[in-house]
Structure 1
């Protein structure tokens, strides 16, 4: 069942992709391919499959190629159809008619929290999802990847608690992520293959394993109450001179409560070179297998 109240999603695409240099010097990291499609293609497909109708890209002047990717290239479309390549032309214009993709500029690069806040003029009073384009959920495992977001949307509709997707990570990777501190850790079933939702007491950013409150790491999918905008607007810059999304989440937890949702399936970090190469090979192999 798809949560009926969430129809908007924010995808922040303003980052320069320094972990992917030199590949990302002239090509936005979000357009780097996984198989025969750019990474952001899968993220947008995931959002649409979960019921999102309006996607807001938060970028900057050098990221207009991303917006162009989701637009119709009339000249290319005309040429392909003139050559009898209707199937190929149709595959390039794949966005459903009831889905809108908009882009708004972040302006100053003041962090993830600031990027989400920049979408407020378009999101308005709607509750909304946030999908980080660096994180691509495996789309080759049935509906599992889209089901994560749909579950979060349903869970939000049930109790109005914002939801944050988490996944169990290996001991050696704990220091790379924001780690959830749960209100009731006894509810964790690390081997579960179903989505579950728990209250979260807070997050610890990139802790050492010995200091980590759990091994549940933030994956890069959020469903937020519109109230998060008020907290972001009042959040002061902290680490690196940036407005941190986690600071606003902590404030939201203290007043309204926030849940974490455990993830089903696998995810890939498409913003890290080693993980990206592994993901590219996997996606290409899956697509070749489907084409046989």
Structure 2
């Protein structure tokens, strides 16, 4: 029987150079979608999918992210004095979302190294990795991560979420190669390889 997936890793140590100049002083994970930081949506997805403990991989410039999920007693008191009890509850709820831990990736060695930084946190448990590059919304159904966890329970294999992209855009993504000997089962496809940002003519599929 598979162990329950109860831990998640969120790699958030990147410099965010694609979003300059906005990320010169602000972590890209703290950039808001309307009025909520991106990282909060990611953590909410994890919590809604049954994750109990979250490790965020950061760097030395990401203090704002840690502060966002911490208690702020001074702010709470000022809001209480002003009668803004709804806002007090909101910031208390953010601090209580999940058990969140942090570790620094001391050198910018990429995503694989960032995940490896979580080795002692994970031990021998199955785990989820969440990236904040795309917003996946499923208003009427289960969160995307919960769907992946359920497939892990059925297959005992690593499962990744993919999307179909235009052929001209494959060089912007990691592209997976579906197995030719194992036909797809509904939306579940067995993979044989993954290629990072292939040339258009060499891409094994359009699944990113």
* Equivalent runs, 1:227-246 vs 2, <5 Å: none
Tell me the CA shift for residue 98 of structure 1.
7.4
Alignment deviations for residues 26-54 of structure 1 (CA, whole Å, 9 cap, x no partner) = 01111011101111111111111111111
- Local SS of the residue matching 2:140: coil
In structure 1, the partner of 2:196 is 205
Query: Aligned partners of 2:193 and 2:155: how far apart in 1?
Result: 18
Give structure 1 stretches of 5+ with no counterpart. Answer: 190-194, 218-292
Tell me the CA shift for residue 116 of structure 1.
0.4
- Local SS of the residue matching 2:50: coil
In structure 2, the partner of 1:262 is none
- Asked if the contact 2:9/2:57 (under 8 Å) is kept, the reply is yes
Give structure 2 stretches of 5+ with no counterpart. Answer: none
CA RMSD of aligned residues (A): 2.2
* TM-score with structure 2 setting the length: 0.91
Q: Aligned match of 1:160 in 152, 156, 161?
A: 156
Tell me the CA shift for residue 91 of structure 1.
1.3
Greater RCO (CA < 8 Å, at least 6 residues apart): 1
- Asked if the contact 2:184/2:190 (under 8 Å) is kept, the reply is no
Equivalent pairs counted in the alignment come to: 207
In structure 1, the partner of 2:165 is 169
- Asked if the contact 2:182/2:190 (under 8 Å) is kept, the reply is no
Tell me the CA shift for residue 20 of structure 1.
0.8
1:17 paired to 2:13 = no
- Asked if the contact 2:47/2:97 (under 8 Å) is kept, the reply is no
Alignment deviations for residues 43-91 of structure 1 (CA, whole Å, 9 cap, x no partner) = 1111111111111000111112111111121111111122111111111
Tell me the CA shift for residue 176 of structure 1.
0.7
In structure 2, the partner of 1:114 is 113
Query: Aligned partners of 1:97 and 1:35: how far apart in 2?
Result: 22
Q: Which has the higher helix share?
A: 1
In structure 1, the partner of 2:89 is 90
Alignment deviations for residues 178-219 of structure 1 (CA, whole Å, 9 cap, x no partner) = 111011488459xxxxx82221000122123322211100xx
In structure 1, the partner of 2:122 is 123
In structure 2, the partner of 1:142 is 140
* Equivalent runs, 1:249-288 vs 2, <5 Å: none
- Asked if the contact 1:43/1:137 (under 8 Å) is kept, the reply is no
Question: Structure 2 vs 1, CA of residues 182 and 95 (structure 1 numbering), >3 Å: closer, same or farther?
Answer: same
1:183 paired to 2:179 = yes
- Local SS of the residue matching 2:9: strand
- Asked if the contact 1:53/1:98 (under 8 Å) is kept, the reply is no
Question: Structure 2 vs 1, CA of residues 142 and 92 (structure 1 numbering), >3 Å: closer, same or farther?
Answer: farther
Tell me the CA shift for residue 157 of structure 1.
1.7
Query: Aligned partners of 1:131 and 1:186: how far apart in 2?
Result: 27
Q: Which has the higher strand share?
A: 1
Query: Aligned partners of 2:152 and 2:23: how far apart in 1?
Result: 36
Query: Aligned partners of 1:113 and 1:170: how far apart in 2?
Result: 26
In structure 2, the partner of 1:44 is 43
- Local SS of the residue matching 1:152: helix
- Local SS of the residue matching 1:216: coil
Tell me the CA shift for residue 151 of structure 1.
1.5
